[in-house]
Structure 1
Amino acid sequence: MSTVEDPIAYFLEDMAYHGRSQRTRDAYERVLRRFEASLDDDPDLGSISHRDCLAWLSELRGDAAESTVASYASYLHRFYAYMNEVGVFDENPMTLVMEELDEQITTDPNRRDISVPEMKAFVKSVGHPLDRALIVLLLKSGIRAGEACNLDLRDVHIPDAPVPAGPIRPQLSGRPNSLFVSQHPQRGDKTNGERRVTSNKRKRDTVIPIDAELRQVLIDWLAIRPDPRSAAEPLFVSTERNWGQRLTGNDIHHLVTSHTRDQGWYESGAGAGENVTPHYFRHFFTTHLRDRTGDRGIVKYLRGDVATDVIDTYTHNWGDRVREVYERNIYSLLDES
């Protein structure tokens, strides 16, 4: 472990070098300094245990909402993960803590509970190729709406798809019927020649299998997809007044909720646990695939929120592990049974 007099200041300075905004750095500093103040008079942040982190988060629960506690935990996790990666700290005590928090994300008793047959009937009611492709993608991959916005054609490897042949991501070479979701696009960044208005939030680049149902709805969409306005060749573009323009997060939210409102699953003013939004689809994916596989690691990998040791285990054995388990367990949304 290298010696750094003020690890928090070191971390914030590196955030500035990486282009993070002053507002973001200020938010991190408030949380990290609050954590530091909760420790002994002369705390050694590099020697903190997971129990110290748990104790602090437990204290917060007395005064803060659970969503605030989760946000603070995320900030602390990113701080320790970065400092461990650059060699300032020997380990990340938040790894175990975050695994426990991940286990709790699907246990809210007030959240709407939609079965696979109910979701299948819902998908069947969606007729437009764009809407159906987006909804099936969100339900079968667990990606966020913002990550769907940032997908380009190079991020999808579907042999014989009805689009002009072009380069694909190197990460997809030799992996047909796969989707690449990057961790890098951030709001304001110029990626693949286009400045992005939505950020990806995953911790690691992820390759996600495309099963037969998702492959078909994507092909149906690509067959009628308007010529995009951007040379980046966005996968999802508008078919309405912004014809050919890359969809935004707000566009996808509106697209999804227009259908879930018709289904009776969305009502203005209702809480997040009751309304079905793109974020609910991520919850649905996590819950049902984890229940079917019993494998937390693969679901965490597909969600893009796993630690380095977990992702290395699975990406080094892609064909025999992730794809095999995914294809054997992913629920059907389009068959007639």
Structure 2
Amino acid sequence: MPESDPRQELADAFGRELDPLAQFEETFIETEIDPFELYEENRLASKDLSDSTVEEYRRSFRQWREFMDQQGRHPACPNESHITGFIKYHRDERGNSVGTIKNRLMYLNQAYQYWQDDAAFPHPQDYNPIDLAKATADLTHEGPKEPPRLSVDELRGKVEEITHIRDRAIVLMQLKLGLRATEVCNIKLSEIHLSNRDVQDHYDSMGEAKALKERNRKHAVYIPHERDGNKSRKPRMLPLDDELRRALLRYLLIRPDNGEPWLFLSQTTREQMTKQGVNEIWKSAFQPEYAETEDYRGITSHFGRHRFTTYWRVEQDLNRELIKYMRGDTAGSANLKDRGAIRL
């Protein structure tokens, strides 16, 4: 016999609901009125807020709508478990700091409290799932240190200081494609396509990978999933923008031609590069200026993947499935199209 829930028993005894907003979901759907738009018009518009702050409210509301859509629930009818899940989603999937999560909850709570105050809404004064979830969630531990935050201008300046042609191509490739260090090491000449007669004539195998030829992909790199060190569950095809193509062409024109199949070769052994070798390139370019401090971890090769994710996930608010595909996190069904790139 299943164990009874004492909270449910108590709610039944007093004629209460543990999920009191569920009963209003169908009506919200039928009206097709956006409760967040009403909050913006009736409360947010009267506040003396900067454009950037208003956009933070809207970003929080967009992320909440997307999350609740995945839960199959109207965003104005949450219960405590939805809020707890939203916190976990921001912490574990988006990798947000505690401060960012608190801000998202603060913006969301202000809209919820407006619904409680406005007589047009059914939200009871004695039930606030956001406050209930915050009371039990751990929002004090920050976890691992974050990398330092560089503006685009600061990042561009550091990249421009990299005078070694191969090293600059590697750093740009990780920043623009979010590749792991091992994935950079594992790229073969046959898995990259560049429309340049000189390099195509010089490297017979360039662009000859089956995945590139079958799909007739131009200006792209193919990242297989089954190769040692490539942690993706599925292969992926990523576009090369003008800036990255120029950097790769400069490197390929001086790359040692010794029959090795790998795109990037070690300066000392003239063989396939190692993860440690890629990491040293980043350290040499960004440290000691961006070495580890009390507040931030030092910049290493992982920074490229972090910055790539931050750009698409936070700054561009791109669809999560596309980001997962580009990062190679999970098997996704979304088709990747060239949506631009980080301009450095």
Residues 108 and 203 of structure 1, relative CA distance in 2, 3 Å threshold? farther
Distance 1:108 1:152 in 2: 40
Question: Is 1:130 the counterpart of 2:166 in the alignment?
Answer: yes
Aligned amino acid, residue 301 of structure 1: Y
User: In 2, are the aligned partners of 1:140 and 1:285 still within 8 Å (CA)?
Assistant: yes
Larger radius of gyration, structure 1 or 2? 2
Cα-to-partner distance string for 1:81-134 (whole Å, 9 max, x where unaligned)? xxxxxxxxxxxxxxx999666533243765211121111111010111101000
Provide the residue aligned with 1:236 in structure 2: 264
Runs of at least 5 residues in structure 1 that lack an aligned partner in the other structure: 1-39, 41-95, 187-198
Aligned amino acid, residue 175 of structure 2: L
Distance 1:134 1:289 in 2: 20
Residues 146 and 212 of structure 1, relative CA distance in 2, 3 Å threshold? same
Q: What TM-score comes out, normalization by structure 1 length?
A: 0.56
Cα-to-partner distance string for 1:31-53 (whole Å, 9 max, x where unaligned)? xxxxxxxxx9xxxxxxxxxxxxx
Residues 176 and 106 of structure 1, relative CA distance in 2, 3 Å threshold? farther
Cα-to-partner distance string for 1:273-324 (whole Å, 9 max, x where unaligned)? 42001111110110012234322222211000133xxx2232xxx4xxx21x
Question: Is 1:139 the counterpart of 2:188 in the alignment?
Answer: no
- The counterpart of 1:312, out of the listed 312, 316, 333, is 333
Q: What TM-score comes out, normalization by structure 2 length?
A: 0.55
User: In 2, are the aligned partners of 1:266 and 1:274 still within 8 Å (CA)?
Assistant: yes
Question: Is 1:248 the counterpart of 2:274 in the alignment?
Answer: yes
- The counterpart of 2:97, out of the listed 98, 101, 107, is 107
Question: Is 1:221 the counterpart of 2:251 in the alignment?
Answer: yes
User: In 2, are the aligned partners of 1:106 and 1:287 still within 8 Å (CA)?
Assistant: no
Question: Is 1:180 the counterpart of 2:222 in the alignment?
Answer: yes
Cα-to-partner distance string for 1:168-214 (whole Å, 9 max, x where unaligned)? 2222121100011111112xxxxxxxxxxxx1111211101100000
- Identity within the alignment, %: 28
Distance 2:275 2:88 in 1: 26
Secondary structure at the aligned position of 2:222 is classed as: strand
Secondary structure at the aligned position of 1:250 is classed as: helix
Runs of at least 5 residues in structure 2 that lack an aligned partner in the other structure: 4-85, 100-144
Aligned amino acid, residue 181 of structure 2: A
Secondary structure at the aligned position of 2:253 is classed as: helix
User: In 2, are the aligned partners of 1:229 and 1:245 still within 8 Å (CA)?
Assistant: no
Provide the residue aligned with 2:82 in structure 1: none
| 126-135 or 100-109, which deviates more | 100-109
Residues 201 and 97 of structure 1, relative CA distance in 2, 3 Å threshold? farther
| 163-172 or 112-121, which deviates more | 163-172
Residues 171 and 259 of structure 1, relative CA distance in 2, 3 Å threshold? same
User: In 2, are the aligned partners of 1:228 and 1:234 still within 8 Å (CA)?
Assistant: no
Distance 1:165 1:99 in 2: 46
Distance 1:147 1:220 in 2: 21
Distance 1:280 1:106 in 2: 15
Provide the residue aligned with 1:170 in structure 2: 210
Distance 1:281 1:172 in 2: 25
User: In 2, are the aligned partners of 1:106 and 1:283 still within 8 Å (CA)?
Assistant: no
Aligned amino acid, residue 203 of structure 2: P
Provide the residue aligned with 2:316 in structure 1: 293
Distance 1:118 1:142 in 2: 19
Residues 238 and 288 of structure 1, relative CA distance in 2, 3 Å threshold? same
Q: After TM superposition, give the deviation of residue 152 of structure 1 in Å.
A: 0.6
Aligned length: 207
Superposed, 1:1-337 pairs within 5 Å as 103-107=93-97, 110-111=145-146, 112-160=148-196, 162=199, 163-166=202-205, 168-173=208-213, 174-186=216-228, 199-228=229-258, 230=260, 233-239=261-267, 241-242=268-269, 244-262=270-288, 264-267=289-292, 273-295=296-318, 296-307=320-331, 311-314=332-335, 318=336, 322-323=337-338, 325=339, 327=340, 330-333=341-344
Distance 1:100 1:148 in 2: 28
User: In 1, are the aligned partners of 2:220 and 2:238 still within 8 Å (CA)?
Assistant: yes
Provide the residue aligned with 1:194 in structure 2: none
Secondary structure at the aligned position of 1:224 is classed as: coil
User: In 1, are the aligned partners of 2:185 and 2:272 still within 8 Å (CA)?
Assistant: yes
Distance 1:290 1:209 in 2: 18
